[in-house]
Chain A
Amino acid sequence: MSARTGGAKRARRGGGPGGARIAWLPVLAVAFLLVFGFYPLPWRVPGHPALWAEHARFWAGASLLTLGPVLALAAVDLPWLHAAPSWLLRALRRPPPLAFAAVVVVVFTGLAVWVSWYVSGFAPVTGGEVAQVFHARLLAQGHVALPADPHWEFFAVDSVIPRRGWFSPSPLGGPAVLALGFLIRAPWLLYPLLGGVTAAALYQFARRACGEAQGRVAAVLFSVTAMPLLVAAGYTNHVPTLLLSVTALMLVAEWERAERVGIRRWCAAGIGLAIGATIAVRPLDGLVVAGAIGVFQLVVATGDEQSRWKELGAEVAGGVVGLAPLLLLGWGGPGGAWHFAYGAPWGAAHSPGFPFGVADTLAAPLRADLHAAQLVSALNFQVAGWALPALLVAGLGILAMRRTSPWDALLFGLFGALVLACGVYTPAAGMADARLLYTALPALLVVLARTPFLVAERWGGYWRHGAPLAALALVGVAWLVPMPPYGALGLVQAARASGAPARLGLSAAVREAGVKHAVVFIHQPFSMRLQRRLWGLGFSRSEAESLLRHSDACSLLDAVTLGEADSLLVPSAIAAHAATYAPGALPIRAADPEIRISSPASLTPACRAALALDAQYGSMPFAAGLVQETVGPDGRPGGDIVYVADLGTHNAALRARFGDRAWYRAWTERRPDGSVVARVAPY
């Protein structure tokens, strides 16, 4: 920190962020990590101890075989090895700040683009990603949402709500940012690029908070850590959320050190804008960031000789501007201004509170704690793939701190607050997805980047070169030693395995088949065909799933056909026509495991034909087509090629609407080498 800055002046006085010493903070932070990340809470999550034991075996074995030898070699009198960390650090510090930031952006973007191509071939993978990409395409085409489609069963996916109008269940901010990618015709590039900019912003923040060297190491660490790369390689709204929150942190650092009121005011307005926009993308994360930064700013404003209260007014104004697009779009759209869109699919159940799902029999607050512990454990497993738990390394770094500053308090507070907030977040209950804590990642990575410095400073001697060599070994081994399913490479490979359905190559198959002005029916398995047709008859998703699970599929097919022929039949009457599944001596085993047929006597000609379709054609997720849908002038799918789910005989319902188009069928085929590819042929 420059001697000219306000922060430095306060540091000399010992009262400001740079100079304060908070003795109890490391103890509290380590205790928090211990309780939520190691013991006892993770061990009380049902089913979790086995997962923990498996990872503990990996950490023990991998550190014994990789980290241990490096630490042993560090004890040998090898001058070149001892000098290597210093040499690397000097090389890292050589470029001027702007050049370094540019290199970080390019490197991160390049790596994330490669990961995106490798994992999914640039396609969205999860339901959430599909929904956001679909919604971003709508926004890019000028639609906040589409009107409800009369044949919505042909277009629905789990994460898109087409019944009361088409939109994604995510707040509009995420798809709005992603729409920029469609406007520049490179959606695959946008999030890797935003990830790269995040790395640069993190550098700017960390150099102000911790010093130039540690700031650069933090940025490099962000760029070579598995989790940021994997998240930036996808299409979730975590990417813009993180960029906006790190931007807010970066501006806080500038606001804290700036002496001129004008600069501080602009910084404050920028902080407000970034936080408001964060709320527009991920409301809960934005509120946590706002809380953590707000408390920090209040502490600074209270302790400063100069009045800073007016600047906070600019910040509030900035926040309103940042949040306004969400409120306006939501107001005009189907979700409602204060609904943040989530309420549409989930209703009142989707609100912060004590979640239900992790361990239903426990008291509510403990349930929330267990969910939080589950998330922290998941972060520990998935953040970097190191041979040691990342939280253990962070704890070591915190213990090695000789002094803790309000910057540390801000980072610890951000991490802790997000963990607790996610713990009480109802819809997330049961989801052990570390990405829910993604907004707190900078706090963790800054501490991890500082750990070698802190350990070297605290214990000196051997640790001056031993600690940085160990850190290099952790990162290097994670990427260079393939230990699937462990390590950074293992995490990337696991993501690739789950991204396999997204790499089927539907677009290429459509191009190859020379499809023009057509409707493409994407083959769905028998069970999904039944469920979709039930949705079209007025069944909710859970009702349709339950009916399928308990019914004889052939009799259910007859009931559905009956319902479609007689529009007066209500769902309960249709359900009454379906026979309950009662396996006889010779139950039929279909290729689709969700299909249950009681006995050969149930097999009607229609049912045989439906089963034969599954034998002939491999199924394909409809999401592959949905994300390529183009909106026509009437606000409905109507591009040159329209993708719909193949619902067998029910496809005739589309004859009037798409009768002028050529009909094609898309399905998957397994090659002799085991890979699965998309195929398209006339229907």
Chain B
Amino acid sequence: MRTVREWWRDEEQPVTLAVAAIVLVGALGRLALLNGPMRHDEAASYLQVISQPWASVIAGYQLPLNHLLYTLAAKLSGALGGDAPWALRLPAFAAGVAVLPLTYALGSARYDRTAAMFGTALAAAATPLVLYSVNGRGYIFVVVAYLGLLLVGDRILRDGPIAGRWVAFAFIAAAGLVTMPLMLYPLGAAVTWIALSALASRQPRPWRVLAGLAGAVAAAGVIAVLAYAPILRAHGLDTLVTNPAVAPVPWPEFFAQLLPSLARAVGSWAEPYPLAGAIVLGVVAVVGVARDGRHRRGGVSILLAAYVWAAVLMCVQHHMPPGRAWLWVVPPLALAAGGALASLGRHRRAARLVTWLPGIATALAAACVTWGSLSGAVGRSMDTGVFAGAADIADLLATQVQPGDRVEVSGPSGAPLRYYLLRAGADTAMLAAPDSGTLREILVLNARYGQTVPWAIAGGLIDTARFGPIAPATHAIDGNVYIAERRMNRP
């Protein structure tokens, strides 16, 4: 594989500068969001795993929250920056920025430089990639691992299956698996792509590639099992394979979920663009996918292999993974769309634009990232649970709560509020105070999830026979706080 120095030397200077600029723009766009409000999953992950002692970190899997490799990285980065959001998200940020040069590298290997530039520009602005670059969870690690596997696979297919490449493949695959079992999707997609490419290449001995692939996957599996051994010992295999996040559902239910869920995932890929832009981008992406075979440099389409494998795995699992499970598809999809854009640039009538293409790609990245930042696309996404007002409300509660107060909070608001209360140095016992001694109920409701006072009463969050009247206290972004005093003569 070429070193960065070699790449800098060999590439055309405008392209080099354009790629560097696109990566920089993408990094800045992510940096601006690095210290944003903690979401539910990352806050819960911190509270239940990362903040725990090392023994619990490597063996904890009470809920499928522990993205093991990410947890270890976040524990280390937390040692540098404490429990600040930016510190817990630093590994994701680094991986999220790394996605961009890796996307370019894959694009230039499978398509051409122009397609790679445009694809990278689209990836720099893609809201799902930005979101998970600033989210303290392991999803973006999986994307990096997938791109790494594809790049190693490309070298194996082009330059031969030498042992070192298989070792690299095995370790990257293992890293992905150790991050989360969901890596089975991208790992299988990469394996399918390499296997199909080897079979379709009409090389004299494709079985060498297939045998090496089988060995590397087996080695990755062994490493992953070893890494998960403490969890398996503590919680058993069922925790990993039959928890509610992965357990099969009845087929009628699965088919009822399938198309709406896929439609939501595809819809999320269109962020941050306005409707007209999303439609144009969608058309470009469809054209790119349909013409994938013409743009790429021989071999099998990466997206085709991903589709085949994902379909097989979904048939076996018949459980619809969440939309973020498809994050790894975004870079190759962006490259396919980039390929379609590049083919426009190569059109005879656009010949004079050729020298401008690096600049156009950079401008596209800058414009899209800026639009994404200004439109607040990441903040709008409700993926993994949002409570943007948690920090402000926690600060307020830390100073205002009195003995005998009890804070009632529900749904995706609980973990972020607890996280910020801890950061504010407050006693989180107020979240679990016994009912008998409660003098005031403080209701913290998240308007984004339709949490209203009638909703809280209907859900039994507050007993209006004993507490009332319910009076509004304060408001912060999407959070509303209400206070209800214990009624007189009511035990």
Contacts and interface: CB of A to CB of B under 8 A. Distances in A.
A61 interface: yes
A483 B251 contact: yes
Interface string B341-367: 000000000000000000000000000
Interface residues of A, number: 24
A69 B315 CA distance: 12
Of B202, B255, B311, chain A has the most CB atoms within 10 Å of the CB of B255
A69 B307 contact: yes
A68 B255 contact: no
Given A57-B259, A69-B312, A76 B252 contact: no
A436 B253 CA distance: 30
A75 B293 CA distance: 10
Interface string B93-127: 00000000000000000000000000000000000
A61 B260 CA distance: 11
Contacts of B304: 72, 75-76
Nearest to A483: B251
Interface string B158-188: 0000000000000000000000000000000
A77 to B, nearest CB: 5
A75 B308 CA distance: 12
A65 interface: yes
Contacts of A590: none
A64 B258 contact: yes
A61 B200 contact: no
A64 B311 contact: yes
Interface string A483-517: 11110001000000000000000000000000000
A445 B436 CA distance: 73
A72 B307 contact: yes
Nearest to B251: A483
Q: How large is the interface on B (under 10, 10 to 19, 20 to 34, 35 or more residues)?
A: 20 to 34
A62 B255 contact: yes
A77 B200 contact: yes
A57 B255 contact: yes
Contact of A76 (B202, B251, B256, B300): B300
B308 A65 contact: no
Interface string B295-330: 000001000100110011011001000000000000
Contact of B307 (A68, A78, A485): A68
B307 A60 contact: no
Given A68-B311, A69-B307, A483-B251, A78 B200 contact: yes
B110 to A, nearest CB: 15
Nearest to B307: A72
Interface in A51-77: 54, 57-58, 60-62, 64-66, 68-69, 72-73, 75-77
Given A69-B308, A72-B308, A78 B199 contact: yes
A164 B445 CA distance: 75
Contacts of B259: 57, 60-61, 64
A388 B200 CA distance: 29
Contacts of B196: 73, 76, 78
Nearest to B315: A65
B254 to A, nearest CB: 7
Nearest to A54: B252
B200 A486 contact: no
A485 B251 contact: yes
Nearest to B254: A61
A606 interface: no
A654 interface: no
A64 B254 CA distance: 13
Contacts of A64: 258-259, 311
Contacts of A76: 196, 200, 300, 304
A377 B471 CA distance: 58
Contacts of A54: 252
Contacts of A73: 196, 308
A587 B352 CA distance: 90
Nearest to A70: B308
B315 A66 contact: yes
Contacts of A58: 251-252, 255
Nearest to B250: A484
A58 B253 CA distance: 10
A484 B252 CA distance: 8
Contacts of B255: 57-58, 60-62, 486
Contact of B311 (A69, A485, A490): A69
**B interface majority secondary structure:** helix
Looking at A62, A64, A68, A76, the one whose CB has the most chain B CB atoms below 10 A away is: A76
Nearest to A482: B251
Interface in A271-303: none
Interface in A64-114: 64-66, 68-69, 72-73, 75-79
Nearest to B304: A72
B311 A486 contact: no
B251 A486 contact: yes
B223 to A, nearest CB: 29
A682 B153 CA distance: 75
Contact of A65 (B256, B293, B314): B314
Interface in B255-269: 255-256, 258-259
A140 B200 CA distance: 63
A481 interface: yes
Nearest to B252: A54
A484 B255 CA distance: 12
B252 A65 contact: no
A484 B248 CA distance: 13
A483 B254 CA distance: 10
Contact of B251 (A75, A77, A484): A484
B319 to A, nearest CB: 13
B199 A485 contact: no
A301 B2 CA distance: 81
A481 to B, nearest CB: 6
Nearest to A53: B256
B311 A66 contact: yes
Contacts of B314: 65
Contacts of A481: 315
Interface in B282-301: 293, 300
Contacts of B311: 64-66, 68-69
Contact of A485 (B252, B256, B312): B252
Contact of A61 (B258, B293, B312): B258
Nearest to A58: B255
Nearest to A81: B199
Nearest to A57: B255
Contacts of B318: 483
A60 B255 CA distance: 8
A209 B378 CA distance: 64
A60 to B, nearest CB: 6
Contacts of A483: 251, 315, 318
A69 B304 CA distance: 8
Contacts of B300: 76
B353 to A, nearest CB: 32
Contacts of A485: 251-252
Contacts of A486: 251, 255
A11 to B, nearest CB: 42
B188 to A, nearest CB: 12
Contacts of A66: 311, 315
Contacts of A62: 255
Contacts of A61: 254-255, 258-259
Given A62-B255, A483-B315, 9 more contacts: A57-B256, A65-B315, A69-B312, A72-B304, A75-B304, A76-B196, A76-B200, A77-B200, A483-B251
28 contacts: A57-B258, A57-B259, A60-B258, A60-B259, A61-B254, A61-B258, A65-B258, A65-B311, A65-B314, A66-B311, A68-B311, A69-B307, A69-B311, A69-B312, A72-B304, A75-B293, A75-B304, A76-B196, A76-B304, A78-B196, A78-B199, A78-B200, A481-B315, A483-B318, A484-B251, A485-B252, A486-B251, A486-B255
Which 10 A-B residue pairs are closest in the complex by CB-CB distance?
A: A61-B255, A69-B308, A61-B258, A65-B311, A57-B255, A69-B311, A77-B200, A483-B251, A72-B304, A58-B255
